[in-house]
Amino acid sequence: MQNEFETQRAELTGELTALVIAGGDTAKVRDKLSKLEARETSVRQAAAEARQAMEAERAATATERGCVIALGVVRAIESRGFEVAELDLAQFNYLGGRAAKLDIEIASANADHVAATERVRHVQSQMSKLQDRASALSGLRLAGQSSDRDVGEALLIEKDLAVLRDAVVTADRNALACQVPQELLNQRGDVMRQLEAAERAVVLRALKTRAEQAEAEFLRSLRELVATSGVAHPGFAYTRSKALDRYVLHGVL
């Protein structure tokens, strides 16, 4: 579309220049230029609005999908009997949103690559059909059964094949350029590793809190046992298990 406007502008500018040099009336040409600029501005504005709408839709979709990813992490943590704090939930939503945004970009790039690859297959299919027809015509010629029309068709096919050979080279180049950027895949992997690390940190923190609470409960019960039994030394009221001894003395579980 932009090239079309540039072509029209160049033609009108050339016409205007010629009229100015010849001393002719330039009002109509200037009016055409003005209307052309107005149409171009309108088209650009519409394109900008369409891009903004698409970006807004993608952002909303990324947010929604990000929440789904975050919810999966929260449910995994809660299934272990732990709660998720608001600050942790905010981090999960942020990382989930980043992962979802990258997923959308990757899907878009992949769709472009699929379309470009399909274009390659289509051109190759057309080439195959023409080559088959060319082979058939060549067979007729070798058998001495070809007509002038067949000869003319064979010449046209060779020209068409030359065009398709150039087209398949271009299509291959476009398909290669449309491959999903490795950088996007790397970023997605990094975000998911960050999300997994955040989940692990929450679980480790919860497990440590659970162990501390269990230790506090153990000591409270032990004090109550010693006080109730009235023994001179706590060891007379309670003897540690061998398993607990291994951990306390050697750090072995």
- Per-residue pLDDT of the chain (253 residues), as tens digits, is 657 888 888 888 888 888 888 888 888 989 888 888 888 888 888 888 787 887 788 788 888 899 999 999 999 999 999 999 999 999 999 999 999 999 999 998 998 888 999 999 999 999 999 999 999 989 988 888 888 898 898 899 999 989 989 998 988 998 888 888 999 999 999 999 999 999 999 999 999 999 999 999 999 999 999 999 999 898 899 998 999 989 888 889 8
Asked whether residue 125 falls in the same domain as residue 57, the answer is no
Report yes or no on 137 lying in a domain.
yes
- Residue 181 DSSP class: P
Residue-averaged pLDDT of the chain: 90
Q: Tell me which residue range forms the domain holding 54.
A: 1-84
Report yes or no on 141 lying in a domain.
yes
Asked whether residue 12 falls in the same domain as residue 80, the answer is yes
User: CA-CA-CA-CA torsion for 146, 148, 151, 156, nearest 10 degrees?
Assistant: -140
Q: Which of 170, 178, 179, 177 is nearest to 123 (CA)?
A: 170
Asked whether residue 75 falls in the same domain as residue 97, the answer is no
Asked whether residue 230 falls in the same domain as residue 168, the answer is no
Q: How many residues does the chain have?
A: 253
Report yes or no on 147 lying in a domain.
yes
Of the three residues 148, 180, 212, the one that is the final residue of a domain is 180
Distance of CA 96 to the CA centre of its chain: 13
pLDDT in tens, 112-143: 888 999 999 999 999 999 999 999 989 988 88
Asked whether residue 165 falls in the same domain as residue 223, the answer is no
d(CA 113, CA 171): 11
Report yes or no on 29 lying in a domain.
yes
pLDDT value at position 58?
Answer: 79
Report yes or no on 124 lying in a domain.
yes
- The CB-side HSE value for 239 (13 A sphere, CA atoms) comes to 2
d(CA 129, CA 122): 11
Of the three residues 157, 180, 203, the one that is the final residue of a domain is 180
Q: How many domains does the chain have?
A: 3
Q: Which of 186, 134, 209, 139 is nearest to 164 (CA)?
A: 134
Of the three residues 151, 180, 209, the one that is the final residue of a domain is 180
